[in-house]
Structure 1
Amino acid sequence: MRLQQQYVPTAPPEEAYYLPSSSPPPPPLPPRYPPPSWQEPSVALQSSKRSNHVSSPSYPAPPPQGQKFIKPANRIRPVNHQGQNSFYGHNYEMIDKSRNIEHVSRFNVKSGKPKEMLNPQLYTERRCTDVLCCFLFLIFTAGWGLVAAIGELLVQTGFRWGDAERLILPTDSAGRRCGGSRGRSYNLTTQPYLYYFDITKCISYSTAIGGCQTPQICVSRCPSKYFSYLQLQNPTASLFDFYESVENLLYCTEDVDKNSIANFAILRNYVHQKKCASYTVKSAPVLGRCVPEILIGAVDKFSDLQKSNISLDTLKTMFGDDGTIPPDKAVNDSEKQLLKTFLAWVNDHTGADEPPAPFEKFRRDICLCNKSISYRYIGQVVNSEGVITKVIHDLLKSWWQILALVGGAGVLAFLWTVILRILGGFMIWTSIFCIIGVLGAAFILSTALFILFLVLIFVRKRISIAVALIEESSRAIGHMMSTLIFPLFPFALHLFVIILWGTIAIWLASSGVKDCRTNNNHNITCDCSTTPMVVLNIDPKCTFFGLVKEKKTIFWLQLYNLFLFFWMSCFVSSLGNISLAGAFASYYWARNKPQDVPSFPVLRALGRAIRYHLGSLAFGSLIIAATKFIRVLLDYLDKKLSTTNSQIFKVFLSALKCCFWCMEVFLKFLTKNAFIMMAIYGKSFFVSAKESFLLLARNCVRVAVVNQVAGFLLFLGKALITLGMGVVAFFYFSGQWVVNGIPRVDLYYYFVPIILVLIGSYFVTDLFFDVYKMAVDTTFICFLEDSEQNDGTIEIPFYMSKDLQRILNKKNEK
């Protein structure tokens, strides 16, 4: 932004010099030239104040023909275009070395554009930045798409592309599907459930690299109680109890003969070899896998009721017995048939208000002692339908109400931004004084009250700046409503990246070759996926020994897949940030708001980012992705070496994980501000990161205050909107609030839609407020640049709002 400053010509000092020029000779000298003597402008000004008349301005000596006048003290530079303040046919631009106004020219305006710009940020001359990293990003992305083809290239090494069913269906550590069979290789039809020795090993980032690091076996039933193998080390326990516990409560791999476990020492050896589970928890089957009941909150008991030979003893076992329910022998055959009839009605009921007529006789005949008992345990039968089925039923009945409430949260989030624009200052100061009042009411916290009061006195001006910036950000969003819709674009890209990464990860994790060999000493391989066939006239039985994997190949491909996932997800986030930053910067640097704000500001900012700054985006996201990747590797290393007894190593590893977490937080802060500076000036990543960091370091107190104030308001908005929609959902779905014209829904678990409304409201509100936070950050950096580089003169005016000028006690000259 080359801004003009009117130059009052004066006589040159001795150090002035001339440069050759191709300019035409100057015109004839003015009549009042030359002046009688040389005076510096400041001296001449003081003389004029002391005298009663205004002295005539002095002029420099004319340059010789064919040369230009250069004054080093003030670095005067001729400008090519003609202007009304031209002297000798030239228009001069003066830069004062004492004010270091070189930064005024940070907007490298394109040639041919006027210097006095209505919105200089739009006309900054840009060029492609960090091109090398852009090519590197494209190469890695192309390689990500070729991972699938690598499986075909490695076919000679025993590698085959994955079978996703191996992960979707329950499969043990040997690659066999629980509840299935394959010819004579294996038969697990009586063991339909998959049991994890330690399911907590599956809840980690490292699972994406090396899979679930715990043995997995197929079992006929899930554990029904909590058990630890340490319970069997009691020396006073009888040998019979020991054998019974080992047989009924212990889960081991199939190569372990439980009859060989004669004492606790042998058992402990098997546990340390990970051939037996060290503990069990009460679990229930979910999608064919034994999941702790504490994770799902209930057990699907209805399927047990549908089994043949149902009896009252089974009901008592499942639901408890208070002594009033008679045993099976007290019920004759006809009454048993009535029970089956009733259970069939429970399974197929379609909302009927009353059970079949024969049930009343059944109730009278069975429950002679206590009428309420029959209703109680039969009611439990009715309400014990599969939890998943009931949840799906509730969602199908209440999906549009859930969407309406989540959409209402989005409307409230938008209204919150409007409220901040109008009442932002009032809300902030009210909240601060409320906190002071609460602390003042607590005598013990009087010291904290005194400290907070002193801090408030010293930062009150900065709080006023933060309030003005928040209001300015609200105005920017109000004039550019497309910024609120734009986050849907990076959200869709994130969803695509997650699906792509998950698909490749599943294919890789399920890759391998079945190891099938004949049941004899010849150990000849065979194809167990087909019917048994004769191999060299040897016994045709073919046995499945496991799934052979190229572990190194799959491991490195999983690492590559995970790294690309981090890089792509960070790149998408960076693209969204720089697009929003470019839009809000175009609003701030508009001379007349909102007239000079360009049309489609977000799309134009997105186009500039894609055209010029893909390399810088790739470089910034690469730094964050590498930090995330190192953290995952440290977590994986921690899981693999968890059995080590070295406390020094554990402390060192924990310290590394903490350091890289802190590094990731700092790099996110640095890259975000670098992208904002890049959106303003169009420079490379390193230059933008350096300038933004130094700018914020010079204004560290302002940064802290603005971040805390904005963060508090956004947290308050998220909490109020999310909890408010949750309360509305509770009163509506629980039936305590009936609205005329809105149908009432009867649900099994009304807390399910309430939870979904809370989660959806939070994410929608967070989506809106992320845009708001980006608006505040961009406006803040633009404000700091504006206040440091401009001085409010006609030539270099402020672009900030009048409220900010008033707070800083500055104003633009007319």
Structure 2
Amino acid sequence: MPPKSANKKKVVEEPPKKKHQIVTVQVAEEEEEEEEEEVKKTVAVVDEGLPLEYYREPGPKATTRKCNDILFFGLFVLVWVGMVVIAIVAFQKGDFNRLKFGTDSWGNLCGAYNPPVGQVPAFDLSNRTYLHYLNAHTSSGNVISRCVASCPKKNDVVCFYNTTLASTSAGVAAQIAQGKCFPVLFNTTDMLYRCIPLEAVQTLVQVQYPTTQPNTTMVKIANFVLSDLNGRTIAAKMTQSLAYSWPIVLGMAFTALGLSFAWLVGIMFLAGGCVWLTVAMANMCLAGIVAMLWYNWAMIETNGKMVLVGWSTIDSLMMNWQTLLTLSIIASVVFLLLFVVTVAARKRIQLAVIIIQETAKAIKSMPLIVIFPVAKYFLIAGLFAFFAVVYALLATSGTVIAQTFSTSISLSIANQDWTKLLTPDTVLPFLQIYIVFGFFWTWNFFLGVWQTTIAGAIAGWYWTRDKSVTPKSPLLKAFGRCFRYHLGSIALGSMLIALVQVIRWILVELQRRLRAAHASQTAQYILACTQCCCMIIEKFMAFLNKNAYIEIAVYGYSFCDAAKMAFQLLVRNAFRVVVIDRVSGFLFLLGKLIIVSGTCMIALALLQTFEAGIADYYAIPLIFIFVISWVVASFFMSVMDMAVDTIFLCFCEDCERNDGSEERPYYMTDTLREFTDQHKGEKPDIAT
């Protein structure tokens, strides 16, 4: 029998296979007891209530990943199969000509062959592509229109389809008296296949600002024509102006790109100054307003007068003693709240500044990440074009039926007392809802893939010990992980948002129809409140989805697990979340305004110098330049916004998992480590 000491087991401590996994110490005491006893002591690193999945090793490593939520990606593919089928049906039953050409008062489509409908014979208008408005109107007030081969000029005579213009002046006069032909009272010009009266706009101006009694028929024609055009004249002016100024517009796009790069470089060095200057100016401006209000109240109280601002409406309002006192109290309360929040959140504001600076460093290490959003916008633009075409074709599909046509003309239009009406199929509303849902789902899916890819690349930089060593092609690797493992999770998250968005769209359509039908205000208020609730839910889900995608990119969770982990992490750092989100959001908005205003000022100077021929249309190219520069600036800001959120979540995870010791060193940079060391031992944000 071996000695008792030989049977004695040593104390064995099992090291965690992964950092911060639960450490179990097993002790066997055979010297004191005959039967072996095992005592397990669990050392919780952060929170005993956290699930075991929390202790998965951070960092985007493909070896620990697997495909999740595959069912929802399969459902997404099936939805797209249905959208393709609907698109094919829309192209077969829809008519592009209905989008291009006009329709006359009898329901005939200009520039096309109109097949027979019931007892209505076929009518070939292939060579009559322009829609002209006659000097006549129906009993309902609508101007009668017909298709013509070319737009007529003043003093020409246009007849109904079944009437041939007489060859003599007396015959023409008789036809006009009988209501079969109508003289053209003004010159017309073709625009987007409509014959536009040149005097129409002048007539509308005369109606709004009358100097003499306007011609009643001209008023009806002018209103009806411009209503039918629905902005086509504006579109033509925009096209003409852009044709002159496109080199400047293109150059300003590159200017906005350069200013965005300059802003990104500048924010690395001036983020702290910009943020603190903004906070200080907000407090000082509000303090000045409070001082002015109380000073004027004191002036009225003692002298019965105040410092006038030069605007009689405001002066008379402010002279009211009670109004001024109320405004002074409200402004004082707001100022005190702002000052208290500024003092209480000063450490969080400093953290926001540091995180923004760290984000700029991460983006600097992988500059191609700034260009990556371009692919997203091209995909979304293609998706929108597909959706717009299919939706429009669905709207032009249906069945043409014949109806009775009544006019206020003394004589009936011989053999033409009918009109055609395009009636949509009963299944059309359901197809439109399906297409809209597919559009929203795909939109959010593209956005989710982009967010997950950005988060994966930035997280890879954060969870690297040596920040000076940048992995090769981090963006492509992050996209590869997303494409290989996480499309199902992204499909699930984007589907949830799409469901809320399509409900909002249905509510908007219902409210529009109720408003057009002059329905009760109560029903409209209920729909408006429901839309507001849906909007709040959508905003919350978009915020949660973005943070869930970050967790997916870092750990490879399924969507539900990632959303749960992200929500718990955000709750534990609630105050930090609010401060950093507001500070970074305002800073990015300020950056957009700087880039856009600088680009537009340069563009205005160039337009005034080199494009004197389009002086009347400066606003149109400037609007385009504003939109383009805003989109270009959004490329950079969207990357910065997603990167800031990723760095922040990684920082919170790092603080909870590690303590800066040799056994559990931080992954964060020296700047963040100094901030953490200075505020170590403070209460959690949720308790402050």
TM-score (norm 2): 0.69
- Partners of 1:171 and 1:435 in 2: CA distance: 58
C-alpha spacing 1:397/1:464, structure 2 compared with 1 (3 Å)? same
5+ long unaligned stretches in structure 1: 1-26, 36-58, 76-94, 110-118, 153-159, 196-213, 222-282, 291-298, 306-313, 323-385, 520-540, 736-742
Match of 1:490 in 2: 376
> Cα deviation per residue 1:119-154 (whole Å; 9 max; x = unaligned)?
8433551111111111111111111111245579xx
2:509 paired residue among 618, 627, 636: 636
Q: Which residue of 2 aligns with 1:608?
A: 481
Specify the SS of the correspondent of 2:61: helix
For residues 617 and 434 of structure 1, do their structure 2 counterparts lie closer, same or farther at Cα, with a shift above 3 Å needed? same
Q: What is the percentage of aligned positions where both structures have the same residue?
A: 32
Deviation at 1:286, TM superposition (A): 5.8
Q: Does 1:586 align with 2:553?
A: no
Instruction: Report the equivalent of 1:666.
Output: 540
Q: Note closer, same or farther for the CA distance 1:585–1:490 as it changes in structure 2 (3 Å cut).
A: same
Q: Deviations over 1:342-373 (max 9, x none)?
A: xxxxxxxxxxxxxxxxxxxxxxxxxxxxxxxx
- The reply to whether residue 176 of structure 1 matches residue 111 of structure 2 is no
Q: What secondary structure, in the 3-state scheme, does the structure 2 residue paired with 1:192 have?
A: strand
Q: 1:287 aligns with which of 184, 189, 192?
A: 192
Other-structure match for 1:164:
96
Residues 149, 580 of structure 1: alpha-carbon distance in 2 compared, 3 angstrom cutoff:
same
Q: CA shift at 1:766, angstroms? A: 1.2
Query: Could you tell me which amino acid in structure 2 is paired with residue 437 of structure 1?
Result: M
Q: CA deviation at 1:173?
A: 8.5
User: Residue 525 of structure 2: which of 637, 643, 651 is its match?
Assistant: 651
Residue 299 of structure 2 corresponds to: none
1:135 corresponds in structure 2 to 74
Which has the higher Rg, Structure 1 or Structure 2?
1
**Code of the aligned partner of 2:491:** A
Please state how far the C-alpha of 1:678 moved relative to its aligned partner.
Answer: 0.9
Matched, 1:747 2:679: no
Structure 1 window deviating more from structure 2 (553-562 vs 420-429): it is 553-562
The code of the aligned residue for 2:75 comes to: L
What code does the residue aligned with 1:74 have? K
- Provide the secondary structure at the position in 2 that maps to 1:799: coil
- Give the equivalent residue in structure 1 for 2:397: 511
2:265 paired residue number: 418
Contact 2:105 2:145 in 1 (8 A): no
Gaps (5+ residues) in structure 2? 12-25, 116-120, 135-139, 148-187, 212-232, 294-330, 406-414, 681-688
Write the letter of the residue equivalent to 1:451. Answer: L
SS of 2:345's partner is helix
SS at 2:65 equivalent: coil
Shift of 1:608: 1.1
Query: Do the aligned partners of 1:194 and 1:288 also contact (CA within 8 Å) in 2?
Result: no
Q: Is the 8 A contact 2:129 2:193 kept in 1?
A: no
How far apart are the structure 1 equivalents of 2:108 and 2:631? 40
Task: Compute the displacement of 1:692 (Å).
Answer: 0.7
Following superposition, the deviation at residue 609 of structure 1 comes to 1.2
Residues in 1 aligned to 2:105 and 2:548: alpha-carbon distance in whole angstroms: 47
Give the corresponding residue for 2:493: 620
Conserved? CA contact 1:300–1:387, under 8 Å: no
Q: Distance in 2 between matches of 1:218 and 1:421?
A: 65
Contact 2:27 2:38 in 1 (8 A): no
Aligned runs of 1:448-597 on 2, under 5 Å?
Answer: 448-515=334-401, 545-547=419-421, 549=423, 551-595=425-469, 597=470
What are the residue-to-residue correspondences of 1:105-504 with 2, within 5 Å? 106=54, 108=56, 120-123=59-62, 125-150=64-89, 161-171=93-103, 175-177=107-109, 192=131, 219=145, 287-288=192-193, 301=198, 391-442=238-289, 443=291, 444=293, 445-504=331-390
**Is the 1:577–1:675 contact (alpha carbons within 8 Å) kept by the matching residues of 2?**
yes
Q: 1:430 to 1:107 in 2, by over 3 A?
A: same
The letter of the residue matching 1:490 is: K
Q: Structure 1 residues 745, 672: closer, same or farther in 2, change over 3 A?
A: same
How far apart, CA to CA, are the structure 1 residues paired with 2:503 and 2:454?
29
Structure 1 CA distance for aligned equivalents of residues 596 and 463 of structure 2:
35
Which letter does structure 1 place at the counterpart of 2:246?
A: W
Distance 1:747-1:649 versus aligned 2 partners, 3 A rule? closer
- Aligned equivalents of 1:96, 1:662: Cα separation in 2: 37
Task: Report if the CA contact (8 A) 1:580-1:774 is conserved.
Answer: yes
Partner of 2:573: 699
1:804 corresponds to? 672
Partner of 2:659: 791
User: What secondary structure, in the 3-state scheme, does the structure 2 residue paired with 1:679 have?
Assistant: helix
Counterpart contact for 1:515–1:546, Cα < 8 Å:
yes
Matches within 5 A, 1:732-771: 732-735=606-609, 746-748=613-615, 749-771=617-639
Counterpart of 1:523 in structure 2 is none
Q: What is the CA deviation profile of residues 757-778 of structure 1, one whole-angstrom value per residue up to 9, with x for unaligned ones?
A: 1111111111210111011111
402-411 or 642-651: which moved more?
Answer: 642-651
| Other structure's SS at 2:677 match | coil
- Assess, with a 3 A threshold, how the Cα gap between structure 1 residues 544 and 34 changes in structure 2: closer, same or farther: closer
What's the CA shift string for 1:706-752, capped at 9, x where partnerless? 011101111111111111111111122112xxxxxxx6664342333
Structure 1 Cα separation of the partners of residues 75 and 141 of structure 2: 40
Residue 27 of structure 2 contacts residue 39 of structure 2 at CA under 8 Å; is this kept in 1?
no
How far 1:419 moved relative to its partner? 1.2
C-alpha change, 1:134 and 1:72, in structure 2 (3 Å) is farther
Question: RMSD over aligned Cα, in angstroms?
Answer: 4.3
Q: 1:586 to 1:810 in 2, by over 3 A?
A: farther
- For 1:391 and 1:406, the matched residues in 2 are separated by 18
Q: Deviation at 1:516?
A: 6.6
Cα–Cα, structure 1 residues 427 and 547, in superposed 2: closer, same or farther, change >3 Å? same
Are 1:402 and 1:753, in contact at CA under 8 Å, matched by a contact in 2? yes
Give the CA deviation at 1:646: 3.4
Give the counterpart of 2:644 among 776, 779, 788.
776
Instruction: Tell me how far apart the structure 1 counterparts of residues 537 and 52 of structure 2 sit (CA, whole Å).
Output: 33
SS in 2 for 1:487: helix
TM-score norm. by structure 1 comes to 0.59
Once the two structures are TM-superposed, the CA of residue 507 in structure 1 deviates from its matched residue by: 2.1
Displacement after TM superposition at 1:555 (Å): 2.1
1:74 maps to which residue? 41
> Distance between the aligned counterparts of 1:807 and 1:70, measured in 2?
46
CA distance in 1 between counterparts of 2:254 and 2:423 reads 48
Deviation, 1:625, is 0.8
SS at match of 2:420: strand
* Aligned-partner Cα distance in 1 for 2:434–2:29: 70
Task: Give the equivalent residue in structure 1 for 2:23.
Answer: none
Give the counterpart letter for 2:97 in structure 1: E
Letter aligned with residue 689 of structure 1: A
Q: How many residues align?
A: 534
User: Counterparts of 2:88 and 2:463 in 1: how far apart (Å)?
Assistant: 50
Indicate how the Cα distance of structure 1 residues 285 and 138 shifts in structure 2: closer, same or farther if over 3 A, else same. Answer: same
Larger helix proportion of the pair: 2
> 3-state DSSP class of the match of 1:546?
strand
The amino acid across from 2:641 in the alignment is K
